[in-house]
């Protein structure tokens, strides 16, 4: 009996000492994670707005910690989600110092030092990273990123000085985005165009380049085209940058809906354009094989599949016209949850609810002229003159060059099969069409 009591006391003593030691390690790590708050502001470079009496950084970080017991070793894992600093100081050499914008995960074993190399693989904060996620740096790398940035803002060209390209897959890609420490409280100055593929969005982008110059807003164009469904960490990365972009701005990217409020960021307004579902699927099917007048794809699969028509694909139930290919539009409005990619009424209802609450305008390609007129009325600061530009700047006449090559219309039998498989897509499309016509009536267009 005495032996049992003695064992219990030893266990309690060991747990107590381990807990106190863990708290001690946590306090040390927390102090190491703090950055120097005594950096004084100097004159900001052109395009930035600061107050002369402002000092220090506001990193808006959140810290989450957990104790991990693995293979007999205790380790403290801390997760910091950093945003772009509100105050962007200028160095004496006239260049801007900005710490990296990234998710930082520190796992510090009690018997080991802090990580010093970038973590690009494995689990981050208990979640498996998806292929293509931005690299997440350890705290030591993060704290050492103070190198001067020369000519950090590079517009698309002299002609399009308000157009910037951003590779959000690159953790350092934000350096090419115009930032500002001053936040606007007007959500109408932050527009997100999470464009649906093969719905005429390239014509809109061609117009937006000219409209950005005319109407004086920043157009941020993503260079990532093939990652529409992203992880929560990647969401945070994108939101962190956009929350500090100089307003007014319009950000365009093939991207499923992201809830900025969920990431404690400033409110934004969404816009989009959709298309008759079967027409979109057929266009996408042949575009992936033959491209169009401006882009050509290199076919990397079996040559027999290259010459299959959409009828052959549907008859044989190939992957290019079934599954997520036939449930493509709704996830752009539902979000990045896994359930949003599964054909279901739940995803449909969530997408409709998001449109009602978050999307100011969702046009349809079949009524492109009407879509532009509604955008002009709802967002004049961005789309004023869009209709005139579309008619006179050669954009409308250039549309045939962007149409998919060698497109063979589907048979009536194929259409009937697809209509049944894509019933949720058609319910959503009809909802969008009715909503657009209601806006037309309200605006008296």
Please report the DSSP string for 5-72 in residue order. Answer: HHHHHHHHHHHHHHHHHHHHHHHHHHHHHPPP--PBP-PPPTT----TT-BS-----EEEEEEEEETT
Q: Report the catalytic residues.
A: 254
Alpha-carbon distance of 15 to 12, in angstroms, equals 5
Quick one: CA dihedral 396, 397, 398, 404, positive or negative?
positive
Residue 154, CA atoms < 13 Å, CB-side half-sphere: 11
How far apart (Å, rounded) are the C-alpha atoms in residues 367 and 259? 28
Pair 382, 191: CB distance under 8 Å = yes
What span, in angstroms and rounded, lies between the C-alpha atoms of 397 and 281?
Answer: 24
3-state secondary structure of 227: coil
Contact between residue 196 and residue 272 where contact means Cβ atoms under 8 Å apart: yes
Query: From CA 323, how far away is CA 334, in angstroms rounded?
Result: 17
Q: How many CB atoms lie within 10 A of CB 308?
A: 17
Alpha carbon distance 247, 270 (integer Å) = 15
**Orientation angle between helical segments 277-290 and 412-421, nearest 10 degrees:** 110
The single-letter DSSP state of residue 258 is -
Would residue 322 be called left, alpha or beta, if left means φ above 0 and alpha means ψ between -120 and 50 degrees?
A: beta
The crossing angle, in degrees rounded to 10, of helices 423-443 and 277-290 is 110
């Amino acid at each position: 009996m005495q032996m049992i009591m003695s064992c219990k006391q030893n266990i309690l003593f060991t747990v107590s000492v381990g807990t106190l030691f863990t708290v001690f390690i946590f306090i040390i790590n927390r102090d190491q994670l703090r950055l120097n708050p005594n950096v004084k502001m100097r004159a900001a470079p052109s395009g930035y707005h600061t107050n002369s009496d402002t000092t220090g950084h506001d990193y808006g970080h959140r810290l989450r910690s957990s104790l991990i017991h693995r293979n007999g070793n205790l380790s403290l894992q801390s997760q910091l989600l950093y945003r772009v600093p509100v105050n962007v100081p200028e160095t004496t050499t006239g260049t801007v110092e900005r710490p990296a914008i990234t998710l930082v995960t520190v796992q510090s074993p009690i018997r080991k030092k802090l990580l010093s190399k970038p973590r690009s693989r494995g689990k981050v904060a208990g979640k498996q990273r998806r292929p293509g996620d931005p690299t997440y740096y350890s705290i030591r790398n993060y704290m050492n990123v103070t190198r001067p940035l020369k000519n950090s803002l590079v517009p698309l060209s002299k002609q399009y000085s308000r157009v910037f390209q951003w590779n959000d897959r690159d953790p350092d890609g934000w350096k090419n985005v115009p930032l500002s420490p001053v936040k606007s409280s007007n959500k109408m100055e932050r527009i997100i165009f999470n464009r649906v593929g093969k719905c005429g969005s390239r014509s809109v982008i061609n117009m937006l380049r000219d409209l950005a110059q005319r109407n004086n807003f920043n157009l941020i164009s993503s260079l990532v085209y093939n990652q529409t469904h992203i992880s929560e960490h990647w969401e945070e990365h994108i939101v962190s940058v956009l929350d500090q972009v100089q307003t007014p701005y319009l950000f365009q990217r093939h991207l499923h809906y992201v809830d900025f409020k969920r990431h404690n960021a400033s409110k934004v307004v969404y816009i989009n354009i959709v298309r008759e579902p079967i027409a979109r699927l057929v266009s996408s099917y042949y575009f992936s094989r033959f491209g169009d007048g401006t882009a050509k794809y290199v076919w990397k699969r079996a040559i027999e599949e290259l010459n299959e028509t959409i009828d052959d694909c549907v008859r044989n139930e190939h992957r290019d016209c079934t599954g997520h290919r036939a449930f493509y539009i709704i996830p752009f409005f539902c979000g990045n949850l896994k359930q949003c990619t599964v054909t279901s009424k739940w995803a449909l209802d969530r997408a409709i609810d998001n449109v009602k609450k978050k999307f100011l305008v969702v046009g349809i390609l079949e009524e492109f002229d009407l879509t532009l007129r509604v955008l002009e009325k709802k967002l004049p600061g961005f789309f004023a003159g869009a209709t005139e530009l579309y008619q006179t700047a050669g954009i409308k006449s250039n549309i045939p060059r962007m149409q998919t090559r060698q497109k063979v219309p589907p048979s009536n039998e194929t259409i009937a099969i697809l209509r049944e498989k894509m019933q949720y897509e058609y319910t959503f499309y009809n909802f969008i069409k009715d909503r657009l016509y209601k806006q037309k009536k309200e605006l008296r267009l």
